[in-house]
Structure 1
Amino acid sequence: MLIRLLLLLIALAAPLRAEEVVLGLSQDQVSISTNFDGSEIIIYGAIKRETPIPLDQPLQVIVTIAGPQEPITVRRKDRVLGIWVNAAAMDVSAAPSFYAIATSAPWGDVINEADDLRHNVSIPRRIRSIGAWSQVANPQEFIDALVRIRMKNGLYVLAEGAVDLRESTLFNTAIQMPANLTEGEYATRVFLTRGGKVVSKYETSIDVRKVGLERWLYNLSRQQPLVYGLLSLAIAIAAGWGASAAFRLMRSG
């Protein structure tokens, strides 16, 4: 009886969430096959309220999709005697293989530094580099380079203003996922913010898996690497012989 009373008091003392997200996805599974060339995920939702819409500060929405975390080595090239060589390297403990952010307004208007740090929302906040200062003099340069390269390759995306928010109640956005996705769970988060502060958060995930021939080859390369290597060699020899035979036929014709 005493435990029930304590739980009731705790529930009554907890603050009511004035605004919450009701979310939908166009798909919660992505299948990678041999002809997979990317996928567009449409995210849409509504905001459920227990109180009237506050008029003092506008509501903003942030949507993020993050691929599996993985370690990576970032190398810097320097020119030595006219030749570009690897001069310094930093091991990044964990970085998302894919990370996309869509916002309803410019970045500076949707979240402040403190809440960005607390929830790890921005791209640099998702990258962890434990012991980086013991590896290189300025680790931030390497992190910036990693972000720049992956943004260029479409693996990191910051789409400011890409979330369509209507009457502070309904929202939707579309995030393009590239062809070179890593298998795994893609954490999907939606943040509601006011005055740069996070007032509500919703989390779900998208499952990305290889299927068909792509899945079979992937499993073969992991479980029987020798067989996979011999098969790859046989395919390469057959392709070379076929190209040579076709070339001879064209010359004789």
Structure 2
Amino acid sequence: MARSSRLCNVLSKAKHHLIAAMTVASFILAAPLAAQNKSGSTGEEVVLGLSKDRVAITATFDGSEILVFGAVKRETPIPTGAPLQVVVAVSGPASPVMVRRKEKKLGIWVNTDSVLVDSAPSFYAIATSAPFSDVLTDTEDLRYRVSIERAIRSVGAGMHIRGAQDFAEAVIRIRTQDDLYSLRENTVAVDEETLFRTAIDMPANLTEGAYRTRIYLTRGGEVVAQYETTIDVDKVGLERFLYSMSREQPFLYGLMSLAIAIAAGWGASAAFRLLRNS
């Protein structure tokens, strides 16, 4: 009888442990599903198309334009209330950037302070269907890090650095002047709250890598759906050969550069001699 009682106790404890494990597992499996339902609370989804998902950088590459177009998929009628707005954000590979402040001392411009901006995208373009402040609230911008200011992360400035935020703003200002950063409001056309399209201009001085492309559907400044894909930017042909050689065989690359410089100098000298003698 004692042995039978112990066996019953063991079986009872095992049953309780099994029920607890199944309960925990059900919560784990349900969590991603709940998150998906929350991100698409209006039942709207993005169906996206790109004119091209790969940009080839060649020796004659002078920039590219990518057409972004898509539609909103719904199982229910168009929601009433705030109109549908669209935000398209394309960002290049991010990397740290050293920013130095120059000041004039004794008539000479010298570097005074320097800050390492922890992460800044090499390229960032935002296109919206309305003014940015209308399509996305500050809270949603903070959550999804859509604006150019929020896409740059700078936390490494020392306490002695005055105006630390100025260094991140300097990165934005310089790269905006180089056409690497841009905010183009009212450039996404939305038809009947179902179709949308815009064009993203990519300059010639692109960095190689995967360009993250995000599309957000918003209503009343709140994100109701999102979609993400990538655009691959790669060097091809002679550009790719020279880039690979400079990274993998720097010694041979240096010798080749020296030989080309000598040949170019000799050729120019020979041409001038021919012109002078003629």
* TM tier relative to shorter chain: over 0.9
The answer for the alignment partner of 1:227 in structure 2 is: 252
- Deviation per residue, 1:49-108 (Å, 9 max, x gap): 233222311111000110001111011111112222222111011100001000001111
Q: Helix, strand or coil for the counterpart of 1:217?
A: helix
Q: Does 1:86 align with 2:106?
A: no
In the TM superposition, what whole-angstrom CA distance separates every residue of 1:177-196 from its partner, at most 9, and x where no partner exists? 11111111100000011111
Q: Match for residue 271 of structure 2?
A: 246
Are residues 64 and 10 of structure 1, via their aligned partners in 2, closer, same or farther at CA, if it must alter by over 3 Å? closer
What is aligned with 2:189? 164
Counterpart Cα distance in 2 of 1:124 and 1:210 = 29
Distance 2:186 2:267 in 1: 52
Amino acid at match of 1:189: R
Q: Conserved in 1, the CA contact under 8 Å of 2:117 and 2:156?
A: no
- Alpha-carbon distance in structure 2 between the residues aligned to 1:185 and 1:131: 26
> Could you say which residue in structure 2 is the equivalent of 1:208?
233
Alpha-carbon distance in structure 2 between the residues aligned to 1:20 and 1:39: 28
1:152 counterpart = 2:177: yes
Q: Which amino acid aligns with 2:269?
A: S
Which protein is richer in helix relative to its size?
Answer: 2
- How much is the aligned-residue C-alpha RMSD, in angstroms? 2.1
Q: CA deviation at 1:230?
A: 1.1
- The alignment partner of 1:162 has SS state of coil
On the 8 A contact 1:17/1:50 being kept in 2, the answer is no
| TM-score normalized with structure 1 length | 0.93
Give the aligned partner of residue 97 of structure 1: 122
Taking structure 2 as the reference length, the TM-score comes to: 0.85
Identity of aligned residues (%): 59
CA contact (8 A) 1:189 1:201 kept: yes
Which amino acid in structure 2 is aligned with residue 44 of structure 1? F
Distance 2:189 2:156 in 1: 40
Letter in 2 for 1:141: D
Distance 1:29 1:9, change over 3 A: closer
Matches within 5 A, 1:172-183: 172-183=197-208
3-state SS, counterpart of residue 86 of structure 2:
strand
Q: Indicate how the Cα distance of structure 1 residues 134 and 165 shifts in structure 2: closer, same or farther if over 3 A, else same.
A: same
Deviations 1:90-136 (A, max 9, x none): 10111000010000011111101111010010001111112224462
Corresponding position: 1:191 with 2:216: yes
Task: Find the structure with the greater CA-based Rg.
Answer: 2
User: 1:244–1:153: structure 2 CA closer, same or farther, 3 Å change rule?
Assistant: same
CA contact (8 A) 2:86 2:129 kept: yes
Cross-structure match for 1:236: 261
More divergent stretch after superposition (7-16 vs 205-214): 7-16
Secondary structure of the 1:30 match is strand
Q: Deviations over 1:7-31 (max 9, x none)?
A: 5798589455521110000111111
**How many residues get paired?**
253
Name the structure 2 match of 1:71.
Answer: 96
In structure 2, distance between residues paired with 1:81 and 1:219: 45
- Within 1, Cα distance between the matches of 2:167 and 2:31? 50
User: Which residue matches 1:123?
Assistant: 148
- Point out where structure 1 has 5 or more consecutive residues left out of the alignment: none
Q: What CA distance in whole angstroms lies between the structure 2 residues aligned with 1:137 and 1:5?
A: 52
